[in-house]
């Protein structure tokens, strides 16, 4: 996502040979916070340091958007706040629970016996607990107690047996809501990211429903005062009757996401928004097949089971 003359801040040096680095970008481990900054997520350190407006295009528009405060960024990423904004897009039976007793009462009202609890903050399958029925096993009870102590309240949702995961990325600013693109996502057990492929709109039959959800989420963020990048998760699932359904608005991530990274990468690889796009993979070095790799991003290295590549 970097452009000519940019500096990319890293918490530590990249080891030689670990990843290809463009010659026009410098890598630094310390930086002056007064410099124009595009943060992955707004914090107190970088919240008020915004880049200046540049040329047209979605990357330039992303750089030019005014930054929210860190307090606002935290609030709009709170799942309790997101549930209040979801409206008709919330899964039936979703609610915040604050105790074991509230959980039992809320689960009894669900149309399905399977459910999931999510912490007010968390990503990639972290800070959550799956269960079935109104009873909670001892091991689940201990985790539930810890999650309640950490978050104060947890988001209860009916569990969906997903058969495909999707998402969309967009920008919200003074000019309104702008959807940048849609993508297909593959995760490992527990929700860890593995692969993301930008999609042409015609590949997704439910694009109308997803567009409506993106517009709804973006407008709600604007009303809350947020401007900047955001992503939404969506999925196709099988309900209790065996019917296939599409849920267009799951998580709302008011920050940069892998969707933006993947879109920037495939744009640079020459994808024009039509046809089949390359996919961004992050996974085991054993899956790094040099015959299929279009562009290596993080090379496999002895002693670390991690690689990233376009395929």
CATH number at residue 271: 3.30.470
- Whether residues 201 and 263 share a domain: the answer is yes
pLDDT, residue 52, reads 53
173 in Cβ contact with 257 (< 8 Å): no
Q: Which residues are within 8 A (CB) of 282 and not within 5 positions of it... i.e. 6 or more apart?
A: 193, 194, 195, 298, 306, 307, 308
pLDDT, residue 152, reads 93
- Whether residues 110 and 184 share a domain: the answer is no
- Whether residues 195 and 269 share a domain: the answer is yes
> Rounded to the nearest 10 degrees, how much is the dihedral formed by the CA atoms of 27, 13, 58, 307?
140
Q: Is residue 190 part of a domain?
A: yes
pLDDT, residue 217, reads 97
Note the pLDDT tens digit of each residue in 72-104: 999 999 999 999 999 999 999 999 999 988 988
Mean pLDDT throughout 168-187? Answer: 93
CA distance 39 to 36: 10
Supply the range of the domain harboring residue 124. 92-158
- Whether residues 153 and 166 share a domain: the answer is no
Note the pLDDT tens digit of each residue in 204-228: 999 999 999 999 999 999 999 999 9
CA distance 54 to 286: 41
pLDDT, residue 56, reads 61
H helical segments located in the chain? 58-64, 70-76, 79-86, 100-108, 138-151, 207-224, 258-268
Domain boundary among 116, 140, 158: 158
- The residue among 94, 112, 89 whose CA lies nearest residue 240 is 112
pLDDT, residue 54, reads 47
Mean pLDDT throughout 259-271? Answer: 92
Strand partners, 310: 280, 295
CA distance 124 to 119: 12
> Binning pLDDT at 50, 70 and 90, where does residue 281 land?
very high
pLDDT, residue 48, reads 61
- Whether residues 138 and 173 share a domain: the answer is no
Domain boundary among 112, 132, 158: 158
Note the pLDDT tens digit of each residue in 15-62: 666 666 677 788 888 877 677 788 888 887 776 665 555 446 898 889
In terms of residues, how long is the chain? 311
pLDDT, residue 130, reads 87
Q: Output the CA–CA distances (angstroms, integers) from residue 196 to 158, 189, 207, in the order listed.
A: 25, 15, 17
* Domain count of the fold of the chain: 2
CATH, residue 128: 3.30.1490.20
- Whether residues 165 and 302 share a domain: the answer is yes
- Whether residues 227 and 197 share a domain: the answer is yes
pLDDT at 184 over 90: yes
pLDDT, residue 245, reads 96
pLDDT, residue 189, reads 67
- Whether residues 216 and 268 share a domain: the answer is yes
Q: What is the pTM of this model?
A: 0.88
Q: Is residue 115 part of a domain?
A: yes
Mean pLDDT throughout 170-174? Answer: 93
Q: Is residue 46 part of a domain?
A: no
Q: Is residue 129 part of a domain?
A: yes
- Whether residues 199 and 216 share a domain: the answer is yes
Q: Is residue 50 part of a domain?
A: no
Q: Which residue has the higher pLDDT, 276 or 4?
A: 276
Note the pLDDT tens digit of each residue in 103-142: 889 988 888 888 999 999 887 678 888 888 776 676 678 8
- The residue among 186, 166, 169, 187 whose CA lies nearest residue 178 is 169
Q: Is residue 196 part of a domain?
A: yes
């Amino acid at each position: 996502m970097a452009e000519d003359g940019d500096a990319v801040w890293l918490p530590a040096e990249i080891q030689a040979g670990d990843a290809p680095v463009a010659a026009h970008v410098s890598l630094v481990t310390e930086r002056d916070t007064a410099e124009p900054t595009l943060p992955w997520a707004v914090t107190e350190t970088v919240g008020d340091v915004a880049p200046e407006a540049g040329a047209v295009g979605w990357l330039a528009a992303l750089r030019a958007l005014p930054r929210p405060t860190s307090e606002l960024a935290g609030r709009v990423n709170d799942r309790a706040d997101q549930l209040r904004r979801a409206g008709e897009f919330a899964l039936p039976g979703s609610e915040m629970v604050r105790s074991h007793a509230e959980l039992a009462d809320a689960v009894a009202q669900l149309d399905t016996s399977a459910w999931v609890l999510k912490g007010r903050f968390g990503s990639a399958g972290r800070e959550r607990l799956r269960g079935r029925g109104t009873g909670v096993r001892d091991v689940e009870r201990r985790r539930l107690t810890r999650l309640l102590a950490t978050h104060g309240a947890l988001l209860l949702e009916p569990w969906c047996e997903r058969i495909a995961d999707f998402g969309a990325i967009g920008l919200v600013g003074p000019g309104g809501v702008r959807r940048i693109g849609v993508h297909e996502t593959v995760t490992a057990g527990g929700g860890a990211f593995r692969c993301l492929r930008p999609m042409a709109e015609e590949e997704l039959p439910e694009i109308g429903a997803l567009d409506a959800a993106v517009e709804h989420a973006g407008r709600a963020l604007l009303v809350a005062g947020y401007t900047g990048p955001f992503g939404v998760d969506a999925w196709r699932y099988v309900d209790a009757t065996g019917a296939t359904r599409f849920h267009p608005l799951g998580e709302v991530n008011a920050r940069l996401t892998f969707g933006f990274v993947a879109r920037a990468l495939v744009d640079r690889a020459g994808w024009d928004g039509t046809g089949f796009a390359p996919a961004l993979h992050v996974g085991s070095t054993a899956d790094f097949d040099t015959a299929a790799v279009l562009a290596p991003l993080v090379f496999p290295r002895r002693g670390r089971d991690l690689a990233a590549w376009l395929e």
